[in-house]
Amino acid sequence: MDAIVNAANNSLLGGGGVDGAIHFAAGSDLLTECEALNGCKTGDAKITKGYNLKARHVIHTVGPIWKMGIQDERKLLISCYKRCIDVAIENNIKTIAFPAISTGIYRFPVAIAAKIAMRETVKALQGHSTIEKVHFVCFDDKVYNEYMSLYDSL
């Protein structure tokens, strides 16, 4: 992949889950670059180098914490995918891998999150996108099955 998406927290300084694993694998230079970015707002995205990762870049996005859908969580998650794709296009990224943003410790319902991920990615790729390949990386069978059921209906 040219870029992997990091489901980050607002500080961009590492955390648990995907975020912690990416920071650990990339090495300390990633943390140094992230410190200079001064964080990231929920729904936005920022790019860094990949350092020790096989991916050349990491696109960090901050997904919303699920609060029963009453605090614009859907709109914020939509924004995450749109911003990641915008950042990828701006940086001539051809291949990108997404985790299931916000579905881990942020408790976003997998069924809703998967629909948003697939819909927003397909919409973006139907435009004049330079992105050639998108991977959705699923951390368990529940997430994988949800994405596959949506993929089969495309």
Q: Active-site residue among 2, 19, 29, 86? A: 19
Integer distance in angstroms from the first to the last C-alpha of the chain? 23
Name the 3-class secondary structure at 154. coil
Could you give the CA distance from residue 150 to residue 144 in angstroms, rounded to a whole number?
10
Could you give the CA distance from residue 48 to residue 3 in angstroms, rounded to a whole number?
9
- Tokens linked to 33: 């670059």
Could you give the CA distance from residue 121 to residue 118 in angstroms, rounded to a whole number?
5
- Mean pLDDT per 10-residue section of the chain, whose length is 154 residues: 96 90 96 97 98 98 92 96 96 96 94 94 83 93 91 72
Task: For residue 19, indicate whether it is catalytic.
Answer: yes
> What is the DSSP code (8-state) at residue 66?
P
Pairing status of strand 57-62 against strand 45-49: antiparallel
3-state secondary structure 23-42: HHHHCHHHHHHHHHCCCCCC
Taken in order of first residue, the domains within the chain and their CATH numbers are 3-152 (3.40.220.10)
- Tokens linked to 124: 């973006």
Inter-residue contact 61 to 44 (CB < 8 Å): yes
Inter-residue contact 82 to 124 (CB < 8 Å): yes
**The pTM is what?**
0.94
